[in-house]
Amino acid sequence: MSRKKVAILISGSGSNMLALLDDMQADHPAEPCLVLSNDPAAPGLAKAAARGIDVASVDHRVFGRDRSAFEAELMKPLLAAGPDIVCLAGFMRILTAGFVSHWQGRMLNIHPSLLPRYKGLDTHARALDAGDARHGCTVHEVTPALDDGPLLGQADLEIRPGDTPATLAARVLDLEHRLYPAVLRRYAQGDRTPLFLTSDAA
């Protein structure tokens, strides 16, 4: 069986991208075909290129508030690469319904909260402010609604006394690096069953 082709969209250093690339190195149902960023200076692009992965960028700032024009350019390298699956990995642009609809059912995202709690930004501070006992991350299929879509996996941990948004973010990021590759591996094999991981030692 041929391996599924995966494109990864990033905006910054791409730590989740690297976790996905590491897992796809061998004995995997998928292989990377492109790493794409909205920032030509994103450090993750150089890291991907150093691993021999094709990279591309489309600077969103050139297009001002014209999201449709930006997405039309973003679509070009994606279509040229021909991915079966698109993974958002720290891609910090909200995508329009038109763009998402083209890839719906084939696009994944990871979000640093236990969705449906805390969609959007500042998730770690919000979990602490709410006095939550547990926090974590979620992988989901992307739909036009922000941080929505079918659940594919969650990983959670206990919030410790003295946790700050920074310490909690670091611990959750470790969970992200475990959860996202595990979900992608299953997804590329056609398994959409949600995966649940827990870690009180993270």
Q: How far apart, in whole angstroms, are the C-alpha atoms of residue 15 and residue 200?
A: 22
The kind and range of the H/E element at 176 are helix 165-188
Using only C-alpha atoms, what is the Rg of the chain? 16
Predicted local distance difference test score (pLDDT) of residue 26: 81
CB-based contact 85:5 (threshold 8 Å): yes
Domains of the chain: which residue ranges?
4-198
Active-site residue identified among 111, 124, 135, 140: 111
CATH number of 4-198: 3.40.50.170
Beta strands of the chain (E only): which ranges?
4-10, 30-37, 55-57, 85-88, 107-111, 134-141, 151-158, 195-198
Q: Residue 71 phi/psi, 5° resolution?
A: -70, -30
Predicted local distance difference test score (pLDDT) of residue 199: 85
Predicted local distance difference test score (pLDDT) of residue 1: 64
Measure CA 48 to chain center: 15
pLDDT in tens, the chain (202 residues): 689 999 999 999 999 999 999 999 989 999 999 999 999 999 999 999 999 999 999 999 999 999 999 999 999 999 999 999 999 999 999 999 999 999 999 999 999 999 999 999 999 999 999 999 999 999 999 999 989 999 999 999 999 999 999 999 999 999 999 999 999 999 999 999 999 999 875 4
Is 111 designated active site?
yes
